[in-house]
Amino acid sequence: MFSIERWHEIFEGLAKNKLRTFLTGVSVASGIFILVILLGAGKGIQNGIQNQFEQDATNRISIWPGVTQKEHNGLGIGRRIQLRNTDYEIATILLEDYIEYKSAIYSVWSGNIVYKKETGTYRVEGVHPDYQFIENASIANGRFINQSDINNYEKNVIIGQKVANDLFKNQEDPLGAELNVSGVIYKVVGVYTDPGGEREESRVFIPITTAQRAYSAGDRIRSMAFTLNKGVDFDQAVEESLDFTQKLENLLKTRHNIAPDDQGALYVNNSLEEAKNVYIITGGVQAFFWFVGICTIIAGVVGVGNIMLIIVKERTKEIGIRKALGASPFSIISMILQEAVFITVVAGFLGLLSGLLVWEVIGPFVEADFFTRPEVDFNVAISTLVILVMAGALAGFFPAYRAAKIKPIVALRGD
């Protein structure tokens, strides 16, 4: 059935009709090429969006105080709430089961930092050792704050990569250098990087105890941040984090005499909920690109079907001649289909390869805020190609079948 003779006949037909072969091939190849480019771009955008939200741990919960908006227990409106060390300590003890990492924060807004002749203004945050994981920061050099820094009120500072780049020119090693932070001298013990980029890296961290003492804060803290133990699945994680947030809020509201329904006295940021939105957005982006991709495939299939129709029409007379000379309907159908499948496979594969090649070559150079690491799942691309080929064959089958059914005299008459 699939003899070398038939392939020979088909190759001859293709080779002698170069323009037709070329045009069919180009339309199929460009369809697949566009699809690969689209899928790559979609993946790039998805990666980009995810990158933007990876700056903090995805299950981070922060809580910071505001001003009361409701009277409660005889206390008036407009009372400023102040969190203290004891709030943090009690919260961490009572809600221990939920917590993975924890840190209180005492931040000094816009600390003026001086190293030799270089100077700059950066956020200074007094934090606990766990804060590194809450911030999703990685240590590029040295170490982060440790418990002994906290216990001994050490004047050690961990600086962001951006800060290090700004203050330490000429490849100077920042480790061990002495920085003047708002009038107090600290020793640099670590440099960190943060997936959130420069904005997140232009901060410095000092032990919270040191911060409270050096800047006369007593036992006051600005906020608290936690990450929670990971749940079994995403939905459970969201549920547990809401649970935790509720308990934490209730605890602090009781301790600070805040009305249970006061919206302004405590602010909670639950990044897991945010993450959920991100997943929804990226899911939407992906769905959109799939939609466009599927439309492209449909257009490709229609295109291939259309080309098949034209080819069959153009070859009606040839088919008539072949039938008069003894070609069976089956041999006509299989000839047309084999030609079509052969062209779509070869051209589709070329389109696939060139699309992949484009992303391979230009992909690493395309970097923007919401666009990184464009890539194409090879399996997806291959299965699209298979679908296109099968659909093309199906689309070609009907005109081929009809052509094979035409009586040879009718086919011969038409010219």
Partner 1 sequence: MIEIKDLHKSYQMGKNSLHVLKGIDFSVKEGELVSIMGASGSGKSTLLNIIGILDEADSGTYFLDGVPIKNLNETIASQYRNKFLGFVFQSFNLINYKSALDNVALPLYYQGMGRKERMERSMHYLEKVGLADWAKHLPNELSGGQKQRVAIARALASNPKVLLADEPTGALDSKTSYEVMELIQQINDEGKTVLIVTHETDIANMTKRIVYLKDGQIESDKLVNQIRASQYV
Please give the residue ranges that form the binding site for partner 1 (CB under 8 A): 5, 8-9, 12-13, 16-17, 317-318, 320-331, 404-405, 407-409, 412, 415
Angle between helices 378-405 and 329-362 (to 10 degrees): 160
Nearest to 242 by CA among 201, 276, 195, 283: 276
Q: Which is nearer to partner 1, 230 or 413 (CB)?
A: 413
Q: How many CB atoms lie within 10 A of CB 238?
A: 17
Q: How far is the CB of 313 from partner 1 (least distance, A)?
A: 16
Q: Which is nearer to partner 1, 4 or 232 (CB)?
A: 4
Q: How many Å is the Cα radius of gyration of the chain?
A: 34
- Report strand pairing: 99-115 vs 118-127: antiparallel
Q: Which is nearer to partner 1, 370 or 397 (CB)?
A: 397
Q: Which is nearer to partner 1, 93 or 325 (CB)?
A: 325
Q: How far is the CB of 408 from partner 1 (least distance, A)?
A: 5
Q: How far is CA 137 from the centre of its chain?
A: 18
Q: Which is nearer to partner 1, 199 or 405 (CB)?
A: 405
- Report strand pairing: 266-270 vs 203-207: unpaired
Q: Which is nearer to partner 1, 77 or 324 (CB)?
A: 324
Give the pair of three-digit tokens for residue 86. Answer: 């004891």
Q: How far is the CB of 331 from partner 1 (least distance, A)?
A: 7
Q: How far is the CB of 413 from partner 1 (least distance, A)?
A: 10
Q: How far is the CB of 318 from partner 1 (least distance, A)?
A: 6
C-alpha separations of 289 from 17, 38, 88, 285 in Å: 36, 7, 46, 6
How far is Cα 263 from Cα 282, in angstroms, rounded to an integer? 30
Q: How far is the CB of 321 from partner 1 (least distance, A)?
A: 5
